[in-house]
Structure formats: structure tokens, C-alpha cells
Amino acid sequence: MSEEAIAIDRTHLTDPATFRRMVAEPCRPVVIRGAVADWPIARAAGDGRALADYLAQFDAGHPVEAFVGDAAIAGRYSYTDDLAGFNFRRERMSLGDAVARITRPGEAHESVYAGSLPTEIFLPGLAADNPLPFAPGGVSPRLWIGHASTIACHYDMLDNIACVVAGRRRFTLYPPDAIGDLYVGPIDHTMAGQPVALAAEAEPGDPRYPRFPRAAARAITVDLGPGDALYMPKLWWHRVEASGTLNLLVNYWWDAFPVGPDQPFVTMLLAMSAIAARPAAERAAWAAWFDHYVFRPDGHPLAHLPEERHGVLGEGPQNIGMLRAQAMRMMRGG
């Protein structure tokens, strides 16, 4: 049976510190109803012409790269059957042209989707006109606009607040530890930077993915309308179905818990290159060391010693710097 998402009233979220404590720290998806219902862009988004006029006043004139597919794909951007290519093409166009093609009256003859547009570059001033009081300071939102669409199940390496401005969106979420049951595609041949969960995009009962029912049983389904927002912690898988002739989303990406200059995913790639091809028994040994020193199920690895004897494993940025320096020396052969 599917789980349910946590919901929090937006009136409780008055500033970034409160958001971090109440929403981000549990590392679970959270729905915030009506979070951006009062935004000017949300009011304009009720009409295609009004939205085009509203966005035009902020348009910096930079070309955007849009996904364009034939009407037959019905907005479901994906791989070709052999995974060698994609069922859409990428076109560069002005933001105004993209909006005009998306908001054109009548039945769409093509699927057009322009996404991940940093507002500080493409629409300077839009974020200030549509503030989100609990968003972390210094984070520039991004804009995503298109027809009805289905975005393949993927994850983000950053925390995410997704704000629905126009249309309706259904998010199907899977926890990070469901990764083995999702049958993930290539990590270096992707549609938009992140690998996708192939099983979540297949027809039910596909014999190629026998473990997927275990992931499906743990799925969280969230339906959002205009004005609603969803917080998704990093590494949570999500499939996004947007319905309606016009769909607009604004999102905020950031690392809610930075502890140093290195991103965890980079560390994982290096570990893959050094460990993944070793014999099973040796991999198990390294897994024990990673648990002991990195994931720490039993607490700090030097808890049995006074803190002043923790050395580079002590707390604080200076210790992180020493660990990085030691790793760099070893990589250089020093």
C-alpha cells in the first residue's frame, strides 16, 4: 500500500530557519498547500496571453533550449525503444517564441517544453516580484513551462522546492533506498542530466523488471494544484505528470546541509571507479569501512577517545580541510 506525504500549513513557514527545522531536517517529502497562491505570476497564469505579457516584462532576451516532440508522444519525453536516442529533439528559440508555441490556442500540434531556466539569467526581477519567504537566501529559482507532459522518473542531487503556478501536477515519489528495484538507466546518456528509473516508465508487469512491485508498494503519490508546493529531499526519485494545456512550475534547488566544498555524488563516482570492480569479499570489507567512518550507524568512530584526540576526524571546517588535503596528496601520489 502506498504511503502518504506529510503536509504542513504554509502559515507556519515564516523564514528559512523555520523551514529547515520543520521541513528539511526530517528528509521526507512535504506538501505545502497554497504556498504561492498569492504570486502575481500565479494570477497571470490563468490566461495564456496574460502570462505571455507578464513574462515579457522580465525577458532578458537570451535564447532557451526547448524539448520539442511530435504530437504522437503526447508530452511523454523519453528514450527511443533501444535507448540509443530520444523521442524528441532540442531546439533553440527565444523564450517569447517558446511561450507563444506553448500557449497557442487550440489543440497543440507538437509538444514543447522549456525547463530549468534560471530566472536571474532569463527573467531577472521575476523572483523579486514573486518572493517565497521560507526559501533559502541566495537561491535563484528556475522556471519550467510546457503543455501536458510526463517527465520520466529521476532524482535530483540537490534539495528541491517545486511550486506549481499553472496546471496540475502529480508527483510519484520513491525513497532513495528503492534504487535497486527501479532499474536505473545509463548515468552518462541521459535526457536532462540525471539517469531515469526505467521500471517506473514501463507498462505494469513488464517482465524485464521483476523487482519493481516492491518499489511501487512504497510509492508516495502527491497531487498538486495551482499555488501548491512540494519539498523533495535530494535523492528522492520522482515521476512528474503535468495535466492541462498550460503548465508552469517554479522550483528552488539548493543543498540544505552543506558540510564542505565537495558534493557527495562526486565522492560516490570516485568510489565507484576504485571499488566497484573488486572481488565481492573485498567490496564487503570496504562497505564495512564506509559504514564505520562515513555512515556511522554506531556513532562517531572515535567516540571512545577524548575529543582532543579525534585529529582530522574532529568536528569543524578545519578538519574537513585537512581530510581533503590528505586525500589530494594521496591522489597525487604524495
Write the pLDDT tens digit of every residue in 146-166. Answer: 888 888 899 999 999 999 999
Q: Is the pLDDT of residue 142 over 90?
A: yes
Alpha helix locations (H) across the chain?
16-19, 40-44, 48-56, 95-103, 119-122, 126-129, 198-201, 212-216, 264-275, 280-290, 317-331
> SS3 for 27?
coil
272 touches 187 (CB < 8 A): no
Please compute the mean of the pLDDT values over residues 186-191 and round it to a whole number: 68
Query: Higher pLDDT residue, 69 or 60?
Result: 60
Predicted pLDDT at 43: 93
Please compute the mean of the pLDDT values over residues 160-179 and round it to a whole number: 96
Angle between helices 280-290 and 264-275 (to 10 degrees): 150
Q: Is the pLDDT of residue 192 over 70?
A: no
Most confident of 73-82, 236-245, 258-267, 278-287: 278-287
Predicted pLDDT at 1: 39
Quote the cell numbers at residue 111.
509538444
Residues 6+ apart with CB under 8 A from 244: 148, 166, 167, 168
153 touches 183 (CB < 8 A): no
Predicted pLDDT at 103: 82
Angle between helices 95-103 and 48-56 (to 10 degrees): 170
Query: Higher pLDDT residue, 238 or 74?
Result: 238
Q: What is the C-alpha separation between 40 and 188, in angstroms, rounded?
A: 39
Lowest mean pLDDT among 75-89, 198-212, 229-243, 247-261: 75-89
Mean pLDDT of the chain: 90
Predicted pLDDT at 297: 94
Q: Which long-range contacts (CB under 8 A, 24 or more apart) does 131-134 make?
A: 132/35, 132/36, 132/161, 132/163, 132/252, 133/13, 133/14, 133/15, 134/13, 134/14, 134/15, 134/16, 134/18, 134/19, 134/23
Predicted pLDDT at 111: 82
Q: 19-37: buried (b, 16+ CB within 10 Å) or exposed (e) per residue?
A: beeebbeeebbbbbeebbb
Quote the cell numbers at residue 97.
517564441
Q: pLDDT by residue (tens digit) across 106-128?
A: 655 688 889 899 999 999 999 99
Q: Is the pLDDT of residue 213 over 70?
A: yes
Give percent above pLDDT 90 in the chain. 61
Q: Is the pLDDT of residue 191 over 70?
A: no
- Cα-Cα end-to-end distance for the chain: 54
Quote the cell numbers at residue 265.
555524488
Q: Read off the amino acid at residue 60.
A: A
pLDDT band for position 170 (cuts 50, 70, 90): very high
Q: What is the C-alpha separation between 188 and 122, in angstroms, rounded?
A: 27
Q: pLDDT by residue (tens digit) across 229-246?
A: 999 999 999 999 998 888
Q: Is the pLDDT of residue 215 over 80?
A: yes
Q: What is the C-alpha separation between 310 and 261, in angstroms, rounded?
A: 21
Please compute the mean of the pLDDT values over residues 296-309 and round it to a whole number: 92
Half-sphere exposure of 94 (CA within 13 A, CB side): 9
